[in-house]
Structures are given as structure tokens and as C-alpha cells.
Amino acid sequence: MSFIVAIDGPAGSGKGTITKIICEKLNLINISTGGAYRSVALATLQNNIQINEIEKIVDLLDKINIEFKRENNKDLVYLNGKDVTRRIREKDVTNIVSKVSSIKEVRFKLNELFRKVAKDKKVIMEGRDIGTYVFPNADVKIYLDASLEERAKRRVKQNEELGIHIPYEEIKEDIRKRDENDKNKEIGALKKADDSIYIDTSNMTIEEVTNEIIDIIKNKMT
């Protein structure tokens, strides 16, 4: 019997970090939607496909293999057998991932993959439309948020841990543009589901957010 936890929110809201921790503590399967879309964006760049060549991007989906692995306590993303965890966080990928994920056919194809993986399993997924579109009947829906400034600070720290150095102001503007684009997508727009529990993480520690969500999940499981 499946049990789905959907965690949505904008870039830098903490959903990726929180999801990984909860995944380990509650022994849930973590499906990285962001990693999947970033992998498609990277494959687009690697094949010299322009962002407006939608048919070529869609055709590319049948030629690539995206895998999620956990090694040495780290969640890794593989594209065609190669570890691309760090690569998909670099600026050129970040610049186009929102546009790639806006392509209807890309979302349909990857959503099929996500639903197939989640069938009859206890799963936690984070993204921007998990509770509204991918799994509208999820057992638990959480919407994480934070101020733009706080989210930019977090992204700077995350990038530095991966050895990527991009100025704070540049990241802040990128996130602002990403928010605007994500909220206005025709399919899979960033939106809080009516039955989602809203949590503002701006002034909360990772531990505080994690414990609050774990309590919510455990109450639902009982």
C-alpha cells in the first residue's frame, strides 16, 4: 500500500534538504524531481539543442537514462551512467531548467516515471507541483516557503559546498526570475494546494522544520 508525502515550495525554501533528512529518519523513498528536470536540461545542453527546439528535447527523453542512487550517505543523480550531481547545479543548467520543465511533454513523461516508481511504496517527493499535479491525492502535503533574501543565502551556501561560486546578488535575481516563471507555467505551476500545510522556514532551523513535518507524517500514518 502506497503512502505519499508531497513537499512543495520555491527554490531555496529548504525542501530538498528537509526531504533528505525525513527520508532517512522515516525510511521513505526519496524521488528527486528537481534532479530529473535538471538532468534533462543538462542533456539538452550536451546535445547542443536550443531551448526553443521543443521536439528535439522531447525526442531526447527516449534516449537518456536518469537514475537516483544513495552512496556514502549522499543522494546522487546519474545521467546515462555518469554522476552529474554537481554538474546539474551549475549556472548554465540552472539558466534553462525552468524553461525545460515548462515543456508539457517533458512534464508528462517524467510524471509517468515518478508515479511508476511510487506505486505501492512509501515515498517522499519534493518539487513545485507534487501536491497539486503529480500526486493530488498525496497523504501528506506540505508547502515550505521563506523570504527571497533567505532563500538566496541558502543557495549560495549550497553552491559553495559543491564548489560553485556565484555572487549573492546574482543568485537572488535568478531566484526571483525563477519564482515568476514557475508561478506562471501553463502546466505544473508553483502553487500551494488548498489542503497543504504552510510552513515559513525563514526563521526556523533545519531541525525545527524537520521535527514539525515528521510529527505531521507520523500522525497521518497512525
Residues 110/35, Cβ–Cβ less than 8 Å:
no
Buried-state track 30-58, b at ≥16 Cβ within 10 A, e below 16: bbbbbbbbbbbbbbbbeeebeeeebeebb
Q: pLDDT by residue (tens digit) across 40-50?
A: 999 999 999 99
What does pTM read for this prediction? 0.75
Grid coordinates of 221 = 500514518
Q: pLDDT by residue (tens digit) across 121-179?
A: 888 999 888 999 899 999 999 999 999 999 999 999 988 988 888 999 999 999 999 89
The neighbour count for residue 144, using CB atoms within 10 Å, is: 25
Contacts of 42 (CB under 8 A, 6+ apart): 79, 84, 87, 88, 93
Q: Which residue has the higher pLDDT, 45 or 14?
A: 45
What percent of the chain is modeled with pLDDT above 90? 61
Q: What is the DSSP letter of 88?
A: G
Three-state secondary structure call for residue 153: helix
Residues 13/151, Cβ–Cβ less than 8 Å:
yes
